[in-house]
Amino acid sequence: MNNENDMIQNLKDAGCDDGTIVAFITDLKEKRIADGLKLLAVHRRSLLEEIHKDQKQIDCLDYLVYNIENNKKVNV
């Protein structure tokens, strides 16, 4: 990263909220690199959980479409 503004923009692009960004920048400035990396790991885990939830919803829709297309009979 070239500067703090680039890092902040990257964190925003990654979906970090203002509190996480401030805490991360503070950790870096105070040389608490491990703490900053833990913050990023928590955010990453949260993003992955959201992806998995979304994937499950997609799978449910795919299953419904598959059944409708293959059975051609739908009882509602």
Q: What is the mean pLDDT of the chain?
A: 93
Asked if the model's pLDDT at residue 72 lies above 80, the reply is: no
**What pLDDT is stored for residue 1 in this prediction?**
61
**What pLDDT is stored for residue 76 in this prediction?**
65
Q: How far is the C-alpha of 20 from the C-alpha of 43, rounded, in Å?
A: 9
For the whole model, what pTM was predicted?
A: 0.80
pLDDT, tens digit (0-9, with 9 covering 90-100), for 20-57: 999 999 999 999 999 999 999 999 999 999 999 999 99
Of the pLDDT bands very low, low, confident and very high (cuts 50, 70, 90), residue 9 is: very high
Q: How far is the C-alpha of 37 from the C-alpha of 40, rounded, in Å?
A: 5
The string of DSSP codes covering the chain is --SHHHHHHHHHHTT--HHHHHHHHHHHHTT-HHHHHHHHHHHHHHHHHHHHHHHHHHHHHHHHHHHHHHH-----
